Amino acid sequence: MKISLIITTYNRPDALKLVLKSATLQKRTPDEIVIADDGSTKETKKLIESMGKNSPVPILHAWQEDSGFRAAMARNRAIALSSGEYIVMIDGDMVLHPSFIEDHLSAAEPGCFVQGGRVLLDENATKEAISSGKIDFSIFSKGIDNRKNMIRCNLLKSLFSSKNRSLKGVRTCNFALWRSDILRANGFDNSFVGWGREDSEFAARLLNGALLRKNLKFAAIAYHLYHKESERAGLPKNDDILRRTIEEKRSRCEDGIDRFIEEPQ
């Protein structure tokens, strides 16, 4: 099965460098990496080109003009450019455990999308990781929150992973599903501008389309690098889009990924 890893980024090449390093050193590498770039400057492009030269995995770059926070559209462009049967999505500040892709592959299941967790690094631990190039962390490392999320254990995974239809805590910073299910829902809604709710709204349409949410525990570990909270002025409008999707039981958006699939890449 061909796996595409989609990495969303915006003007944070120092973090992206660590993430790409962790992605290319996977025990089971993705078949391709596609950067969903929401308008970064040339520094990010240079980094991608530089790391792509020595990468064992093809690294593609889907860039769009900087016109506010448009992560939904950036992800659509990247997924349209990808060719994998199975899509794993992370943010550009999520450093991956060496078995991250392997764990997602074993968790893939028809009729489900997969929600993974994250380990939170504080500001000092993040600065140290970026300055040293560190991508391996232990349960004893300093500056780690929610340490239980660092435990990788097949027995605990089988006991605590579960399926439900809840939207609570949905985040596409560690998220996976079949390409066919993305296309059926028409991907993310391009009308989302500003931080927040684009991932919840996407998940709501997947649930309305009869998929189940699979919460993956004690597997697919990823370490979230610290950053300041995003500005949230667009949240009321985005909340309204999410509300209408839930109330009207929408399973497909009007302005989605088909815009980029139909157009030449």
pLDDT of 231 reads 75
| Strands of the 119-120 sheet, one edge to the other | 94-96, 222-224, 119-120
Please give the mean pLDDT across all residues of the chain. 95
Three-state SS for 72?
Answer: helix
Report the Cα–Cα distance between both ends of the chain, in Å, rounded. 23
Spell out the residues 6+ positions from residue 24 whose beta carbon is closer than 8 angstroms to its own: 33, 51, 55, 56, 57
What stretch of H or E contains 47? helix 42-54
Range of the structural domain that residue 107 is part of: 3-262
pLDDT of 262 reads 62
Indicate the pLDDT class of residue 228, thresholds 50, 70 and 90: confident
pTM for the predicted model, two decimal places: 0.95
Query: By C-alpha distance, which of 72, 36, 33, 16 is closest to 189?
Result: 72
Spell out the residues 6+ positions from residue 59 whose beta carbon is closer than 8 angstroms to its own: 20, 32, 33, 34, 35, 48, 51, 52
Domains identified in the chain, total number: 1
Asked if residues 242 and 201 have their Cβ atoms less than 8 Å apart, the reply is yes
CATH number of residue 89's parent domain:
3.90.550.10
Give residue-wise pLDDT tens across range 37-53.
999 999 999 999 999 99
pLDDT of 264 reads 43
Which residue carries 């989609």 as its tokens? 6
What is the spatial distance between Cα 8 and Cα 58, in angstroms, rounded to a whole number?
A: 16
Angle 31-202-162 from CA coordinates, rounded to 5°: 75
Q: Phi first, then psi: give them for residue 161, nearest 5 degrees.
A: -70, 145
The mean pLDDT value for 11-21 works out to: 98
Asked if residues 197 and 263 have their Cβ atoms less than 8 Å apart, the reply is no
Token pair belonging to 193? 């501008």
Asked if residues 123 and 223 have their Cβ atoms less than 8 Å apart, the reply is no
pLDDT of 233 reads 79
Which residue carries 């439900």 as its tokens? 164
Q: Phi first, then psi: give them for residue 236, nearest 5 degrees.
A: -55, -45
Give residue-wise pLDDT tens across range 161-200.
999 999 999 999 999 999 999 999 999 999 999 888 999 9
The mean pLDDT value for 241-245 works out to: 97
Give residue-wise pLDDT tens across range 111-161.
999 999 999 999 999 999 999 999 999 888 899 988 999 999 999 999 999
